[in-house]
Structure 1
Amino acid sequence: MARQPIDDPAGTPLSYWAATASPGPEIPAFDGDMQADIAVVGAGYTGLSAALHLAERGLSVLVLDAHEPGWGASGRNNGQVVAALKHEPHEIEEHFGVERGRELIRAVGAGPDLVFSLIERFRIDCDARRCGIITAAHSSGAFGDLRRRVEIWVARGAPLELLDATELARRSGTEFYTGGCIDPRGGAINPLGYARGLARAVVESGGAIRRDAHVRSIGRDGAGWRLKLDKGEVTASKVILATNAYTDDVWPGLRRTFLAGRTPQLVSAPLGENQRRSILPGGEIMSDTRYLTVGVRMHPDGRLHLGGGNGTAGGETPALFEELARHGRILFPHAGELTWEYRWSGHMAMTTDRYPRLFELAPDAAAALGYSGRGICTATIMGRELARWASGEAKIDDLVLPLSTFRTLPYYPLRDLIVEGAVMYHRLRAQLAAGR
């Protein structure tokens, strides 16, 4: 049987995030039967946000994770807090309808407000900065698309600003790109620190979390649910599945609704004073318009951080990082040969249309996943929304993300070939578009 993301080595990866994040709360291992109003499977942003919003309502909530809070993608990503999905607003309205589409656009646009307000309210130590996000165009055609994007969003009241090639180079420290735009609503965090802070807030608000709690099966138990684990069972009235890319076979077919791809992260040794002042001197965080997006940020201690830009359906190998390091040399040749002190990877759940999914799996059982690289804000939002549903405040088809039809991908058995082929195709396409 092919390995699944959940089968990655136990323990937090030796990442820059793990080296700099504050410790999380003491989480007991699951050992024995438990009961709760709502059982949440997965201690990433979706599950922790859901649990926090439920605990604040006074409901009994139990979060179960096969590892520990933030172990998966929530603790391994680039830390970009983005105020948009992967689509333009008119595309979202066409996809979901004007009324529901506008509601979703508003919610995601306010996503950074939600994230940073939780960080402030619960005093989460995660190096949070409302610094703005630059999107850099990798080709002249992409810059034309960004120009139209800015016009569309500005017409709708969003504070985006177009940057020509000269201004983009000044703000970023690279002349690779043809221009770009900046969205001041976004920002940056230590994503593992954010996950651990949410976990602490859950516990302090009266919720419960258990690690080493790999749920093996979920079945009906009268009017509620029974979750079977290696060392006991959990009974609950409602269940939220919040496992995203790390979904296994606990719910039949769920992991076949998306494709999981492993993406890399690299963090350098501290750069020299002149080098660190030349790259993103204004403190912004940057990503580009390639399908295989490269994220760039500078850390306060002068380290350069690159994320994404490559992917695989397989394991973590040197080749996964080599392409990202090569792109770093292209972006910042003046930085010389960089020493990469931290390298790690995590899985991202990609849907075919890059829209997230909200599923009603059965009465009183729901799942949200497939954030396609927009997980920090969108997963936090969906946790809040699932809490509205689980608490009885809203029907599931009234949440901000419309319900999706549960469909498995017919070509899922070929997922490894599809992911590897897509990576090669989009890498070549980006190189041709950029003339490199």
Structure 2
Amino acid sequence: MARFSPIGDVLWPRTAPASEITQALQGDEDCEVCIVGGGYCGLHTALDLAQQGRKVVLLEGEEIGFGGSGRNAGHCTPTFHHHALQNLRDMLGARRADRLIALQLEAADRIGEIVRHHQIDCEWVQNGYVMCASSPRKLTALKARRDSYNAAGQSTRLADTDEVRALTGMEGQYGGWVHPGGAHLNPMGLSRGLARAARGHGARLFVNTPVTGAARSGALWQVTTPTGRVHADRVIFATGAYTRGGWPGLDRSFRIMRVMVAATRPVPEATDVLPANVTAHDGRGNILVYKRDEFGRIVASMFPRLRQSRASMLDLMTRRLRFHHPGLPDPLGWECIWTGELDMQQRTIPRLYRLDEGAVAVTGLSGRGVPTGYTVGKILADWANDKAEGDLALPLEPLAPAPPYMAFAPQIALRVYEIGDRIIEWRDGQPRRP
């Protein structure tokens, strides 16, 4: 049984331009690099290599953007989800980490350039990202975040309560961290646009073509599908959380964590919600992140607790929004509700696996896919171009299963964050928040 929510539940395929990639593989194809997976990682890699004149074939088991690249909440925040920048240097070594940090921090700007250059219709808006402080003491952590990102070349700032209200319309906040480089978009529009751009540069892309295996055949790799084969010098698996077969054990290198995304009906009358058209993060442990789409919908996301019903989660999301925006219409009118799947592992940064000579895989984007897909695409293109292993922005590791505790650790962490928020509210004498 598929664990993925139906793509038909998702807003983005309905409002994005139609996909131009509709052909399944039939017969044999020869190329230099075969990419498995039609999400951001695979598409950015295909576009980068095709622009360099490399012969590329990309195989997607469903449709372009079927996975997280077509169903995420539409935020492009060029930061790291869990780790402070110094943590990354401690983990990877300063030289490698600084390469990774540079790629990630420039990702939104580079994606914006790609969108403009290739005329990708994806509702791209780069008005900034605001991470709010839900208590006075959280401003200290945001100050440290500002200082570390600015030391790495960014121009971020702290905002006071009035500026946060002016940017987001949110009540009940104590200031926030403003990253001007943050953007938001229609994720499926970006996926389909990247695919069109890659094909325009000579890459051959095939959909409805699941990969059933890959094996050496002489000096080449033979990638097999139900309707054909691809013969390639190199193979890249970039299927992430939506991995189903293709390479033994790859689907065990991560554990799934779900995120719920919901979109309201268009509410142009709610003029106090995100008046500056930024992306907003409410600063809580179980974060509420939201934006407005081109048509005036509010699109919000949160992590559901284990076995929490969709109705209960939607009620919580509604109450959280109303806490910050008391003037929202009633009923709010949720138009689309869906879940996304995150490929979580213990380091919460992407993992690059050496499968065999000339074959690699990447998993573990862990919920920061729009900018990280660009970052990983650059790293995969470097690998395909024979960049020295020590100069890659991620280390090549042996494929290994995620530790058993990852089946429950993210949910425990979520609960700990929620309890921590309650303790801070109690200590600060705040009213209990939803």
TM-score scaled by structure 2?
0.90
Which residue of the partner structure matches residue 63 of structure 1? 58
Q: Secondary structure at the match of 2:21?
A: coil
Question: In structure 2, what is the equivalent of residue 399 of structure 1?
Answer: 392
1:13 aligned counterpart, secondary structure: helix
Q: Does 2:142 align with 1:146?
A: yes
In structure 1, C-alpha distance between the alignment counterparts of 2:115 and 2:425, rounded to whole Å:
39
Shift of 1:423: 4.2
User: Is residue 188 from structure 1 mapped to residue 155 from structure 2 by the alignment?
Assistant: no
2:108 pairs with 1:112: yes
Describe the shift of the 1:356–1:433 C-alpha distance in structure 2 as closer, same or farther (beyond 3 A): farther
- Against the structure 1 CA distance between its residues 47 and 219, is the aligned structure 2 distance closer, same or farther, given a 3 Å change threshold? same
- The 5 A counterparts of 1:149-298 are 149-273=145-269, 275=270, 277-298=271-292
* Match status 1:300 vs 2:294: yes
CA distance in 2, matches of 1:224, 1:315: 48
Secondary structure in 1 matching 2:396: coil
Match of 2:47 in 1: 52
2:214–2:247 Cα contact (<8 Å) kept: yes
Deviations 1:171-212 (A, max 9, x none): 211223332111111211111100000000111111111111
Aligned partners of 2:345 and 2:402 also within 8 Å:
no
* TM-score normalised by the chain length of structure 1: 0.90
- Where 1:293 maps in the other structure, the secondary structure is coil
Q: Are the aligned partners of 1:310 and 1:423 in contact in 2 as well (CA < 8 Å)?
A: no
* Structure 1 letter corresponding to 2:204: A
Change (3 A) 1:175 1:17: same
Match of 1:97 in 2: 93
Greater shift in the superposed pair: 395-404 or 418-427: 418-427
Pick the aligned partner of 2:404 from 407, 411, 414: 411
Q: Which runs of 5+ in 1 are unaligned?
A: none
* Contact 2:258-2:303 within 8 A present in 1 as well: no
In 2, Cα distance between the equivalents of 1:238 and 1:311? 40
2:378 maps to what in 1? 384
Misfit runs of 4+, over 6 Å: none
Long gaps (5+) in structure 2: 427-431
1:326 aligns with 2:345: no
Once residues 85 and 41 of structure 1 are traced to their aligned partners in structure 2, the CA distance between those partners, rounded to angstroms, is: 25
State the partner residue of 1:349.
343
After superposition, where does 1:17-28 map in structure 2 within 5 Å? 17-28=12-23
Which SS does the other structure have where 1:33 is aligned? strand
CA distance in 2, matches of 1:242, 1:236: 16
Give the C-alpha shift of residue 351 in structure 1. Answer: 2.1
**Shift in CA distance, 26/250, structure 1 to aligned 2, threshold 3 Å:** closer
Per the TM alignment, residue 253 of structure 1 is displaced from its structure 2 partner at its CA by 2.3
| Shift of residue 53, structure 1, vs aligned partner | 1.2
CA distance in 2, matches of 1:353, 1:84: 15
The one-letter amino acid of 2:145's match is R
Alignment correspondent of 2:429: none
Q: CA RMSD in A?
A: 2.3
Which residue identity does 1:41 align to in structure 2? V
Letter in 1 for 2:277: G
- For residues 49 and 363 of structure 2, what CA distance do their matches in structure 1 show? 19
Deviation at 1:144, TM superposition (A): 1.7
Give the length in aligned residue pairs.
Answer: 425
1:37 maps to 32
* Cα contact 1:293–1:308 (8 A) shared by 2: yes
User: Which residue matches 1:13?
Assistant: 8
Amino acid at match of 1:353: R
Q: Is the 8 A contact 2:355 2:398 kept in 1?
A: no
Query: CA shift at 1:418, angstroms?
Result: 4.8
> Deviations 1:367-408 (Å, cap 9, x if unpaired)?
22211221111111211221222133x134422223345332
Letter in 2 for 1:398: D
The offset of 1:92, in angstroms, is: 1.6
Q: Which amino acid aligns with 1:280?
A: L
Query: Kindly, what percent of the aligned residue pairs are identical?
Result: 30
Aligned equivalents of 1:289, 1:101: Cα separation in 2: 26
CA shift, 1:70, in A, is 0.6
Give the secondary structure class of the aligned counterpart of 1:140.
Answer: coil
Indicate the SS of the match to 1:334: coil
